[in-house]
C-alpha cells in the first residue's frame, strides 16, 4: 500500500496535561476532515507539532509512542522556537505580509533564523520515516522552505504543497528580504496548489520576476523538473452542516437571542485584522443611520473568537472592537432591543449550526481571506429551509465560487449598506434560487473532493513525469535504444539548434558565447567516425562564424537563409531585403514603446527581441503588432515568425526544415538525430524521416518524438554518445 505523508504545522490532535497525566483531544478543522476522507488505498502518516511545549524530556518517548498508534509523528518545538518561528516569522511576517498588511510586518533576522531551523527540524523528522514510493503533502505558510529541504534529500520523491492563505501580488511580495529563499523553498514541490486563480497569477508572476522561471500554462521547468501550479478550492463537509446528527430547534434558538420578529444578521470571525471587523461594525452603524425604519427590526449577532491575545496588534484590535460596539449600542439601543449582540468567545458546533440555520443574513466581509469556510458552512446549513442571504467580500477566496452571493467591497461602507438593504428586501423565491445554485456547487466540491483531487493530480504528475519527460532518462528503454542505434550506424547525421538547446538563454543574446565545455563537446561529436554534425540556428552567419570557426562545421544561419558547406556560405534563391525599409519603422516604434527590447538586423531578416522585458507586457505588444505586421508582410512574400522571446520577419519559403533537407538528401543516413527548443525547430522535426530521433527541449507541444527538459540534459546525452 502506498503511503501519503502529510506535514502541517499542527497535528490533528492537541495534548493536555492534568495531574501529571497526558490527554489527547482531536483538533477540529477542515484539513483533518478532508484527509480522513481519502481512499483506503492510501496509508496516511501525519507529521506536525502536537501543540504543546514539552519541557520534560522523559515525556517525549511516551508521546511518540501514543501518537504512533494513531499514525501521527510529533515534531517537538521548544519555547524559543514557538516564539520566534511560529509567533515571530510565521505570524508577524508571513501572515500580515501575505494579507497585504505590510504595516504590521516585523522584519527580524532572528525570526528568519528560527524559521529556517524549524523547517530543517521538520525535514529531519521526515527523512527518518520516508520509504520508497511515498508521496508527501506539505501544508501552509509555516513550512514554505520544507519542499526544497525534502527534495534535496529525496530528488525523485513526489511532493505536493498547498497554501491556505492568499499569495500577494508581486509588488507586495518583493518587499520581503527573504523573497528568493521562500520561493525556491516552495519550488521544491511537484504540485503547488492555491484556492484561487488570482493567487496563482501572483505566484507565477513572482517566480518569473524573482527566480527567472517562465511558465507555460501554469507549468514550470525548474532544475529538470516539471512543476504544476493549479487551483484547488477547499470545501467543507457539506452533510455535516446540512444534516447535523442532532436536530436543532430553530424557534428555540432564535428565542434565546431576540424577539420573534427580529431579523438576524450573523457575523462570525476569528479576532484578526484581516477580517474587517471594525469596518463591518461601522458599516452596520451607517446602515441604521441611513435606514432608521430598520431600527428594532434587525440585530447583528457578532461572534468573535479570541486569537493571539498576547500580540499588540490583536490587543489593540480587541479594544477597538469593544469601543465600536459600545458606541453603537449607546447610540441605538433601547430597553427592548439591542442593535448588536457581541460574543467574544468560541461557540460549539451545535450552537454555530443552530445560528446558521436561523440567521436571515450572513455578513462575511474580510478585508483579505485565503478562502473563508464560514460562508460555505452558512450555505450548507440552509439545505432544508432554503431561506437566507449571503453578503460576501470580494476579497475572500470563496467569492470566486459563491457568485450568487451579494458580493461587496469590504472597504466600501456604502456598498455594504446597499447590500444589507437588498438582502433584507429579497423575496423568498430569489433567496431560494441563489441558495440552491450555491448549494449545488458545495455538494460536489466538498473538502473530501478537494483532498482527493489534489492527490489524484499529484499521482498524475508522477505518471506524466515517467511517461513524457523521463523517456530519455539515463537507463530508460528509449535512451538505450537511441544509444544502440547510434552505435550500430555507420553514417550518422546530427542536427542541433544553438540558443536554448546547446546554451541557456540570457537576457543579452550576445552573452551566450560557447563555453569551453560546449566547444569540447561539439569537437568530440564532429570528429567521431561516421558523424556529420550540423548547426542550424536563427543567428546571423557572422556570429556563427565567429563562434564556431575553430570547429569547421556545416551550418545554417538565419533559419536557413544562409547555408555553409565545405567552408563556403551560400544564400537561398530569390531572397530580397528592400522590404526592410517598410517594416523597420514599425519595429522602431515597437522598441520605443517597449523599453528593454531591441531590434537585431540580419542580411535578410529583422528580429524584435524582448528577453529583458516583462512577460505580460511582451504578450500585450505581440497582440497589438501581430495584425499590423501580418498586414504589412501579406503582399511582400514575407513570414512573421514567433520564436522564443523573439519575433522575426523574414522571407517566406525559407525555414530550418528546408535547410535541413540539403544535408538529409546528401546520402542515405543510418541514424539521424535532431534537437531543438522552439517553434522554428518544428520545421526540422517535420522534414526528417519518421525513424529519426527528434528531441524537443522543454515542455511545449511538439512534432518531436521525445522531450528533454534542459540544456544540461542535452549535453549529458551528447556526452554519452561521444563516450561510446
Grid coordinates representing 315 are 490587543
Element (H, E) at 222: strand 219-222
Q: Minimal CA–CA distance to 522: which of 533, 510, 536, 538?
A: 533
Grid coordinates representing 329 are 449600542
What ranges make up the beta strands (E) of 27-173? 43-49, 72-74, 135-139, 158-162
Grid coordinates representing 183 are 520561493
- Rounded CA-CA distance 159/147 in Å is 7
Q: Minimal CA–CA distance to 475: which of 224, 133, 720?
A: 720
Give 471-474's long-range contacts (Cβ < 8 A, gap of 24+): 471/706, 471/707, 472/695, 472/706, 472/707, 472/708, 472/713, 472/717, 474/716, 474/720
Name residue, grid cell 462570525: 268
508 burial (CB, 10 Å; 0-12 / 13-18 / 19+) is exposed
Q: Is the dihedral of CA 59, 65, 68, 69 positive or negative?
A: negative
Contact status, residue 640 vs residue 631, Cβ threshold 8 Å = no
140 is an active site residue: no
Distances (CA, A) of 124 to 84, 118, 149, 689: 19, 10, 9, 52
Distances (CA, A) of 564 to 197, 524, 544, 647, 659: 49, 20, 10, 24, 10
- ∠ Cα 157 713 551 (to 5°): 170
Contact status, residue 214 vs residue 208, Cβ threshold 8 Å = yes
- Rounded CA-CA distance 218/239 in Å is 33
- Rounded CA-CA distance 34/234 in Å is 9
- Rounded CA-CA distance 490/479 in Å is 19
State the catalytic residue, choosing from 497, 677, 681, 683.
497
Supply the DSSP string of 348-374, one letter for each residue. Answer: -HHHHHHHHHH-SEEEE--SSBS--HH
Kindly report the number of other CB atoms within 10 A of residue 523's CB atom: 16
Crossing angle (nearest 10°) for helices 373-381 and 428-444: 120
The rounded Cα 120 to chain-centroid distance in angstroms is: 23
Q: Is the dihedral of CA 468, 190, 27, 97 positive or negative?
A: negative
Distances (CA, A) of 218 to 112, 160, 204, 445, 543: 29, 15, 8, 22, 35
Contacts with 648 (C-beta within 8 Å, 6 or more apart), sequence order: 538, 559, 605, 606, 607, 608, 640, 641
Contact status, residue 356 vs residue 377, Cβ threshold 8 Å = yes
Grid coordinates representing 367 are 478585508
Q: Minimal CA–CA distance to 366: which of 419, 414, 416?
A: 416
Half-sphere exposure of 583 (CA within 13 A, CB side): 32
User: Which residues are bridge partners to 201 per DSSP?
Assistant: none
Q: Are strands 706-708 and 693-697 parallel, antiparallel or unpaired?
A: parallel
- Rounded CA-CA distance 74/59 in Å is 12
- Rounded CA-CA distance 488/468 in Å is 26
Helices (H), 570-614: 580-593
Q: Which residues are catalytic?
A: 497
Amino acid at each position: 500500500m502506498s503511503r501519503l505523508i502529510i506535514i502541517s504545522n499542527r497535528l490533528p490532535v492537541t495534548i493536555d496535561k492534568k495531574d501529571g497525566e497526558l490527554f489527547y483531544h482531536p483538533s477540529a478543522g477542515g484539513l483533518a476532515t478532508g484527509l480522513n476522507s481519502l481512499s483506503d488505498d492510501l496509508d496516511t502518516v501525519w507529521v506536525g507539532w502536537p501543540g504543546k511545549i514539552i519541557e520534560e524530556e522523559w515525556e517525549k518517548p511516551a508521546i511518540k509512542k501514543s501518537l504512533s498508534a494513531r499514525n501521527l509523528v510529533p515534531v517537538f518545538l521548544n519555547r524559543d522556537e514557538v516564539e520566534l518561528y511560529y509567533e515571530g516569522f510565521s505570524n508577524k511576517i508571513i501572515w500580515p505580509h501575505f494579507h497585504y498588511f505590510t504595516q504590521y510586518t516585523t522584519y527580524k533576522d532572528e525570526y528568519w533564523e528560527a524559521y529556517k531551523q524549524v523547517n530543517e527540524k521538520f525535514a529531519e523528522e521526515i527523512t527518518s520515516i520516508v520509504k520508497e514510493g511515498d508521496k508527501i503533502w506539505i501544508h501552509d505558510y509555516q513550512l514554505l522552505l520544507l519542499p526544497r529541504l525534502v527534495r534535496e534529500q529525496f530528488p525523485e520523491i513526489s511532493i505536493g504543497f498547498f497554501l491556505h492563505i492568499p499569495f500577494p501580488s508581486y509588488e507586495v511580495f518583493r518587499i520581503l528580504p527573504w523573497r528568493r529563499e521562500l520561493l525556491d523553498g516552495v519550488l521544491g514541490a511537484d504540485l503547488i496548489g492555491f484556492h484561487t486563480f488570482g493567487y496563482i497569477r501572483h505566484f507565477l508572476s513572482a517566480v518569473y520576476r524573482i527566480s527567472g522561471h517562465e511558465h507555460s500554462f501554469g507549468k514550470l521547468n525548474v532544475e529538470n523538473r516539471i512543476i504544476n501550479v493549479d487551483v484547488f478550492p477547499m470545501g467543507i463537509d457539506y452533510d455535516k452542516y446540512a444534516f447535523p446528527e442532532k436536530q436543532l430547534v430553530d424557534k428555540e434558538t432564535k428565542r434565546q437571542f431576540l424577539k420573534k420578529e427580529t431579523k438576524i444578521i450573523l457575523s462570525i470571525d476569528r479576532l484578526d485584522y484581516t477580517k474587517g471587523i471594525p469596518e463591518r461594525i461601522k458599516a452596520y452603524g451607517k446602515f441604521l443611520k441611513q435606514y432608521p425604519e430598520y431600527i428594532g427590526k434587525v440585530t447583528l449577532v457578532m461572534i468573535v473568537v479570541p486569537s493571539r491575545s498576547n500580540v499588540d496588534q490583536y490587543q489593540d484590535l480587541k479594544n477597538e472592537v469593544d469601543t465600536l460596539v459600545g458606541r453603537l449600542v449607546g447610540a441605538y439601543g433601547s430597553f427592548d432591543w439591542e442593535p448588536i449582540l457581541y460574543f467574544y468567545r468560541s461557540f460549539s458546533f451545535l450552537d454555530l449550526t443552530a445560528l446558521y440555520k436561523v440567521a436571515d443574513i450572513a455578513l462575511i466581509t474580510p478585508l483579505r481571506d485565503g478562502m473563508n469556510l464560514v460562508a460555505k458552512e452558512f450555505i450548507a446549513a440552509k439545505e432544508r429551509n432554503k431561506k437566507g442571504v449571503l453578503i460576501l467580500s470580494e476579497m475572500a477566496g470563496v467569492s470566486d465560487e459563491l457568485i450568487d452571493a451579494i458580493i461587496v467591497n469590504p472597504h466600501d461602507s456604502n456598498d455594504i449598506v446597499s447590500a444589507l438593504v437588498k438582502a433584507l428586501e429579497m423575496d423568498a423565491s430569489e433567496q431560494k434560487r441563489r441558495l440552491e445554485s450555491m448549494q449545488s456547487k458545495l455538494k460536489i466540491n466538498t473538502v473530501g473532493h478537494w483532498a482527493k483531487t489534489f492527490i489524484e493530480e499529484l499521482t498524475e504528475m508522477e505518471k506524466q513525469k515517467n511517461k513524457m519527460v523521463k523517456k530519455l532518462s539515463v537507463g530508460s528503454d528509449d535512451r538505450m535504444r537511441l544509444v544502440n542505434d547510434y552505435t550500430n550506424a555507420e553514417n550518422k547525421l546530427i542536427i542541433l539548434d544553438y540558443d536554448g538547446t546547446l546554451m541557456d538563454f540570457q537576457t543579452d543574446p550576445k552573452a551566450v558565447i560557447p563555453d569551453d565545455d560546449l566547444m569540447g563537446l561539439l569537437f568530440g561529436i564532429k570528429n567521431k567516425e561516421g558523424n556529420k554534425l550540423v548547426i542550424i540556428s536563427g543567428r546571423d552567419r557572422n556570429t556563427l562564424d565567429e563562434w564556431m570557426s575553430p570547429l569547421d562545421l556545416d551550418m545554417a544561419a538565419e533559419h536557413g537563409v544562409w547555408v555553409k558547406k565545405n567552408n563556403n556560405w551560400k544564400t537561398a534563391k530569390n531572397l530580397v531585403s528592400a522590404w526592410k525599409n517598410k517594416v523597420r519603422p514599425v519595429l522602431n516604434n515597437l522598441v520605443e514603446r517597449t523599453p528593454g527590447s531591441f531590434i537585431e538586423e540580419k542580411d535578410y531578416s529583422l528580429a524584435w527581441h524582448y528577453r529583458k522585458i516583462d512577460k505580460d507586457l511582451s504578450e500585450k505588444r505581440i497582440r497589438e503588432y501581430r495584425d499590423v505586421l501580418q498586414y504589412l508582410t501579406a503582399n511582400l512574400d514575407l513570414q512573421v515568425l514567433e520564436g522564443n522571446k523573439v519575433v522575426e520577419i523574414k522571407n517566406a519559403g525559407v525555414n530550418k526544415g528546408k535547410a535541413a533537407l540539403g544535408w538529409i538528401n546528401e546520402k542515405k543516413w543510418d541514424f539521424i538525430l535532431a534537437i531543438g527548443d522552439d517553434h522554428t525547430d518544428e520545421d526540422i522535426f517535420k522534414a526528417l524521416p519518421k525513424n529519426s530521433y527528434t528531441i524537443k527541449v522543454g515542455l511545449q507541444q511538439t512534432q518531436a518524438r521525445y522531450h528533454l527538459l534542459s540544456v544540461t540534459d542535452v549535453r549529458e546525452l551528447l556526452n554519452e554518445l561521444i563516450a561510446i
